[in-house]
Amino acid sequence: MIDRKLVEILRCPVSREAVHVASRDRLRELNAAIEAGELKHADGRKVEAPLSEALETEDGARIYPVHDGIPIMLADEAITPAAE
């Protein structure tokens, strides 16, 4: 699980917006969209793996996966749920 103090200082590398931990309900929505093949990374690749934890920008425009407590805050790895 990601450290909450770390989340407080992290910012989206694209928009510089604050991020927050995605709720369980939000993760369920995202994982359903991933399973349906509807979500893509910012670089256009389809998201293949379900999310167990993620950080989301305040406006919901970008979601960053968290693997083993480590946020993957790379612009190309951001998930862009605009098609939801």
Segments of the chain assigned E as strands: 19-21, 40-41, 54-57, 63-67, 70-71, 79-80
Quote the number of domains for the chain.
Answer: 1
Contact between 80 and 41 under an 8 Å Cβ cutoff? The reply is yes
What's residue 82's pLDDT?
65
Using alpha carbons, select from 21, 16, 8 the residue that is nearest to residue 51.
Answer: 21
Under-70 pLDDT residues of the chain: 82-84
Q: What is the pTM of this model?
A: 0.91
Question: How many angstroms separate the CA atoms of 55 and 2, rounded?
Answer: 9
What's residue 1's pLDDT?
84
Q: Which residue range forms the structural domain that includes residue 52?
A: 4-83
